[in-house]
């Protein structure tokens, strides 16, 4: 007898969060973008598909999708602000707000670590990055960071050698007229994490303010510029 052909396993039914995430991806947004819109880690968006998570974010995702499809809004910070108005914290059985489990400071034994914050966290001072910087300082690590601002917020054009990095490969220009620039790298030596930890402490723990002050002091951005995205990376010096 000829061997029986195996029937392909049926695709599991997607929950509403995954269906909304699919529509956002069809509109040109990545899972990382979707995570920024709801101010969560990209791994959570993947769990919409694999672990049936995301029910708490369906209203926020639907609001962001409506803003894109009917309002023509494409800017991630604006979409994040819209989604934030529809994101509800979980409650306990007694009706009080459930505690949110904080992220551990993830720095490997080799000193490699990364922390990112989006629009909502930026406004509150990027507090979740403070432990990362403090731990990097304690270990004597180096660090670099990437900021995203409106193109007009920078004092020097991209690729200018007056502004670090001085080469275009460390610059990402986006369709919403914003630009990401990276400062410091393992090739250039980066920055002393201890110095940045002092700056953060001097700013009362406000990482956003500390980074903003450094950018202004070093003549890279306008004083009234607003940071839209911030990422910090660490490594052990050779």
| One domain for residues 142 and 51 | no
In this prediction, residue 215 carries a pLDDT of: 95
Greatest mean pLDDT among 8-12, 123-127, 134-138 lies in 134-138
What total number of domains does the chain contain? 2
Q: Note whether 120 and 222 are same-domain residues.
A: yes
Better pLDDT: 4 or 162: 162
Q: Say how far apart CA 90 and CA 87 lie, in whole Å.
A: 10
pLDDT at 137: 93
Whether 159 is in a domain gets the answer yes
Residue 216 has a pLDDT of 96
Arithmetic mean of pLDDT, 135-159: 90
Same structural domain for residues 140 and 50?
A: no
Does 33 map to a domain?
yes
CA-closest candidate to residue 178, choices 221, 134, 210, 117: 221
pLDDT of 213 reads 96
* Same domain? 70 vs 151: no
Do both 119 and 202 map to the same domain?
yes
Angle (CA) 31 33 39, round 5°:
100
- Higher-confidence residue of 118 and 33: namely 33
- Weakest mean pLDDT among 66-70, 95-99, 188-192, 213-217: 95-99
Q: Which structural domain range is residue 144 located in?
A: 113-235
Residue 227 domain flag:
yes
Neighbours of 160 (CB within 10 A): 16
Instruction: Please report which confidence band the pLDDT of residue 208 belongs to, taking 50, 70 and 90 as the band edges.
Output: very high
């Amino acid at each position: 007898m000829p061997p029986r052909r195996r029937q392909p396993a049926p695709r599991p039914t997607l929950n509403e969060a995954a269906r909304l995430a699919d529509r956002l991806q069809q509109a040109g947004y990545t899972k990382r973008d979707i995570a920024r819109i709801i101010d969560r880690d990209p791994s959570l968006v993947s769990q919409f598909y694999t672990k049936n998570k995301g029910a708490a974010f369906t209203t926020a995702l639907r609001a962001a999708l409506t803003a894109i499809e009917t309002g023509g809004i494409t800017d991630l910070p604006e979409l994040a602000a819209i989604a934030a108005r529809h994101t509800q914290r979980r409650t306990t059985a007694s009706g009080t707000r459930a505690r949110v489990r904080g992220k551990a400071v993830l720095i490997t034994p080799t000193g490699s670590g990364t922390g990112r914050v989006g629009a909502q966290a930026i406004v509150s001072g990027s507090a979740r990055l403070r432990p990362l910087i403090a731990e990097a300082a304690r270990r004597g690590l180096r660090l670099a960071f990437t900021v995203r601002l409106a193109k007009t917020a920078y004092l020097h054009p991209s690729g200018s050698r007056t502004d670090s990095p001085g080469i275009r490969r460390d610059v990402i220009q986006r369709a919403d007229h914003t630009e990401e620039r990276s400062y410091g790298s393992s090739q250039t030596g980066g920055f002393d994490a201890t110095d940045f930890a002092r700056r953060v402490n001097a700013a009362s723990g406000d990482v956003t303010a500390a980074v903003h002050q450094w950018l202004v002091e070093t003549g890279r951005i306008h004083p009234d510029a607003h940071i839209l995205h911030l990422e910090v990376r660490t490594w052990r010096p050779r």
